[in-house]
Structure 1
């Protein structure tokens, strides 16, 4: 993710302001939480780990 190093503070501020305008202040924490969960699951999938739900379906 080398391109993220070049963003800097002004770029981060533009992204935050755009997110506030698109989602609004009430919805932004929910969007952030969902994004964090999605990234976590993606990393687990890349590492070959399975979630509890996957293990339950494999046992049946």
Structure 2
């Protein structure tokens, strides 16, 4: 990753499909970001991702 994306996803420690999406803000911090482990970029801008996936979220029981 050479330039700061809008966001990155972090997979859970057990790789059971649980993902946390982080906004990369402000981009000045990007030089300090170390993508260790299961981190990957997405080509979809954050607002588009959010609008697609928010409707699938359910509150915790």
TM over 0.5: no
Structure of greater Rg: 1
Q: TM-score range by the shorter chain?
A: under 0.3
Judging by fraction of residues, say which structure has more helix.
1
TM-score (norm 1): 0.26
Q: Which structure would you say has the larger RCO, counting Cα contacts within 8 Å and 6 or more residues apart?
A: 2
